[in-house]
Amino acid sequence: MANAQDHPFQLTNTLSRKKEPFIPLNPPHVGLYVCGPTVYSDVHLGNVRSFLTFDVLVRWLRHIGYTVRYVRNITDVGHLVGDEDAGEDKIAKRARLEQLEPMEIVQKYTNGFHDVMRLFNILPPSIEPTATGHLIEQIDMIERIMANGYAYEVNGSVYFDVPKYAEKHAYGELSGRKIDELVANTRGTEGQDEKRSPLDFALWKKAEKGHLMHWPSPWGEGFPGWHLECSAMSTKYLGQTFDIHGGGMDLKFPHHECEIAQSVAADGHAPVRYWMHGNMLTVNGRKMAKSEGNGFTPEELISGNHKLLERGYSAMTVRFFMLQCHYASTLDFSNAAMQAAEKGLQRLMAANEVLKGFTAKTPSAPSSAAEGFDVEALANACHAAMNDDLNTPVMIAQLFEGVRAINGAKAGTVALSQADIDTLRKLYDAMLFAVLGLREEAGTKQDEGLDAGLMDVLLGLRADAKNRKDFATSDLIRDKLAALGITVKDTKEGVVWERS
């Protein structure tokens, strides 16, 4: 767009805690890495929010002309369930519970994850690497770290030496932590006596007897540490330093902090130029989390079959609901908010239909009092909002300003030129579908074969009744249809119906 130079894309870098102009390393290419799911259970709505945030980022970067290589991993090596069950990983535990091979668990929940992503119209990444597919790279990285003296081996396990690293580097810079405080606040360390410091973290864990997932390594049979895969895979596909790394707020510490340490220790470079963290989805003010048990799955959301849900909501309603909040703010889920979002989305999409339906001529003879509308200013405002740290709520607010103009043009109170209409069409098409990633939902369209035919019959009968001024009959038909969830509207252009 015209003033991309004047208003470059600004992104909050959680490393500096400031909004910074986004300048990629090798324009027009952008390297983006996002931490993906651990595939040991169903994804819930909180997970969806995070992936949605980065989906909008990718869509926007591409919209303003960048070529994005988007890498989002699948964590398919289980990691420790908790202190008590040290030795058993989440995937192995699940495999035992469901009596499946660990890789069946991985495949099952990977498939489920992909289904959910499609449901919410979240674009697939360019590369979706798996931890188990990159053991060679991970082992190689451990060797580089050891060669540089930042890791040590104990009984077939390898640990990262955090105090050693902190002598020369800023461990804790991302999450704002200080080494002394971390040491002072460390919780129980039993079962971790192999570590020299409680802050040290595993790069490689020796597999105990009976452990299902393990691979050979220079240190014996074992499996990689949780933080390592992201470092190894981002380095492989995006280079030792790349543009943007994203993930949920809850991954900042220790996960992302460890990633920085691993990369610096292995290759001597800070891996990431811009760190980006999405905030949490909350329910009644508390974080939605697997461990809190307050999450619901997308299936439950759509069916409404969950005690927190008054009724079901469509995937696009949820998407729109989330986009009406800035990604860096917490967002609280509530039925009232969902219903408000649903109405708003309907109005927005309906206005887009009105816009598409305008004929070549001016939509409706504007009255002499019709006001003009600055379409250019609207387009610029949308662009500026997105460039301002992906401010989707402000961008959506602008689209609603446009809705008034579109509906006003139809009503004859706003004058739009053909050029205005063309600009608006392009703008709405781009913002609604390409950038916000909304899509028309099935079931609201009027041209669906049998349904459409049946409706034509009923509405034909109703029109006859109306012509005879038999309003009792015409209203009866409308009321009965309303009871079935179909709204009939008599507009100037004719009768329209839609499912609610």
Min dist. Cβ of residue 376 to RNA (A) = 17
Among 120, 391, 432, 438, contact with RNA (rule: CB under 7 A): 391
Residue 413 lies near RNA (rule: CB under 7 A): yes
**Given the complex with RNA, which of 268 and 479 has the nearer CB atom?**
479
Residue 181 lies near RNA (rule: CB under 7 A): yes
Query: Looking only at residues 432 through 461 of this chain, which bind RNA when binding is defined by CB under 7 A?
Result: none
Residue 255 lies near RNA (rule: CB under 7 A): yes
**Sequence-separated (6 or more) residues with CB below 8 Å from residue 92:** 78, 102, 211, 212, 213
3-class DSSP state for residue 29? strand
Residue 350 lies near RNA (rule: CB under 7 A): yes
The structure tokens listed for 245 are 């790394």
Residue 177 lies near RNA (rule: CB under 7 A): yes
Total residues binding RNA (CB under 7 A): 89
Of the candidate spans 103-111, 247-255, 305-313, 429-437, the one that interacts with RNA by CB under 7 A turns out to be 247-255
The length of the chain in residues reads 500
Residue 344 lies near RNA (rule: CB under 7 A): yes
Residue 336 lies near RNA (rule: CB under 7 A): yes
Min dist. Cβ of residue 459 to RNA (A) = 12
**Given the complex with RNA, which of 143 and 328 has the nearer CB atom?**
328
Residue 312 lies near RNA (rule: CB under 7 A): no
Min dist. Cβ of residue 115 to RNA (A) = 16
Place of tokens 């393990």: 214
Long-range contacts of range 21-30, CB-CB < 8 Å, 24 or more positions apart? 22/243, 22/274, 24/66, 24/243, 25/241, 25/242, 25/243, 25/273, 27/66, 28/65, 28/66, 28/67, 29/66, 29/67, 29/68, 29/69, 30/61, 30/66, 30/67, 30/68, 30/69, 30/243, 30/244
Min dist. Cβ of residue 26 to RNA (A) = 26
Of the candidate spans 66-74, 154-162, 343-351, 432-440, the one that interacts with RNA by CB under 7 A turns out to be 343-351
C-beta atoms surrounding 23 within 10 Å: 11
**Given the complex with RNA, which of 26 and 487 has the nearer CB atom?**
487
**Given the complex with RNA, which of 449 and 467 has the nearer CB atom?**
467
Place of tokens 């579109």: 406
The residue type at 279: N
Among 103, 107, 212, 253, contact with RNA (rule: CB under 7 A): 253
Min dist. Cβ of residue 268 to RNA (A) = 26
- What dihedral do alpha carbons 41, 45, 50, 52 form, nearest 10°? 120
Min dist. Cβ of residue 446 to RNA (A) = 14
Query: Looking only at residues 28 through 57 of this chain, which bind RNA when binding is defined by CB under 7 A?
Result: 35-38, 43, 46-47, 49-51
In sequence order, what DSSP letters do the residues of 363-407 get, joined into one string?
SS---TTPBP--HHHHHHHHHHHHHBT--HHHHHHHHHHHHHHHH
Find, among 319, 420, 368, 262, the residue nearest to 59 by Cα.
319
Asked, as a colleague might, if the bond just before 271 is cis with ω within 30 of 0, I would say: no
Find, among 230, 226, 238, the residue nearest to 32 by Cα.
238
Min dist. Cβ of residue 182 to RNA (A) = 6
Quick note: the x/- pattern for RNA over 284-303, rule CB under 7 A, is -xxxxxxxx-----------
- What dihedral do alpha carbons 382, 386, 390, 394 form, nearest 10°? -20
Residue 326 lies near RNA (rule: CB under 7 A): yes
Among 329, 367, 417, 446, contact with RNA (rule: CB under 7 A): 329
In sequence order, what DSSP letters do the residues of 32-53 get, joined into one string?
EEE---BTTS---HHHHHHHHH
| Calpha distance 93→77 (Å, rounded) | 12
**Given the complex with RNA, which of 143 and 170 has the nearer CB atom?**
170
Among 112, 125, 129, 254, contact with RNA (rule: CB under 7 A): 254
Residue 480 lies near RNA (rule: CB under 7 A): no
Query: Looking only at residues 52 through 91 of this chain, which bind RNA when binding is defined by CB under 7 A?
Result: 79-82, 90
Min dist. Cβ of residue 365 to RNA (A) = 15
CB 392 within 8 A of CB 437: no
Of the candidate spans 117-125, 140-148, 389-397, 447-455, the one that interacts with RNA by CB under 7 A turns out to be 389-397
**Given the complex with RNA, which of 356 and 489 has the nearer CB atom?**
489
Residue 249 exposed, middle or buried by CB count within 10 Å (0-12, 13-18, 19+): middle
Place of tokens 């959910």: 116
For residue 167, which phi and psi values (nearest 5 degrees)?
Answer: -60, -40
CA distances from 130 to 54, 104, 394 (A): 19, 14, 36
Find, among 288, 342, 283, the residue nearest to 314 by Cα.
342
**Given the complex with RNA, which of 104 and 371 has the nearer CB atom?**
371
Query: Looking only at residues 185 through 224 of this chain, which bind RNA when binding is defined by CB under 7 A?
Result: 185-187
Residue 245 lies near RNA (rule: CB under 7 A): no
**Given the complex with RNA, which of 51 and 358 has the nearer CB atom?**
51
Min dist. Cβ of residue 158 to RNA (A) = 16
Quick note: the x/- pattern for RNA over 116-145, rule CB under 7 A, is ------------------------------
| Calpha distance 156→41 (Å, rounded) | 30
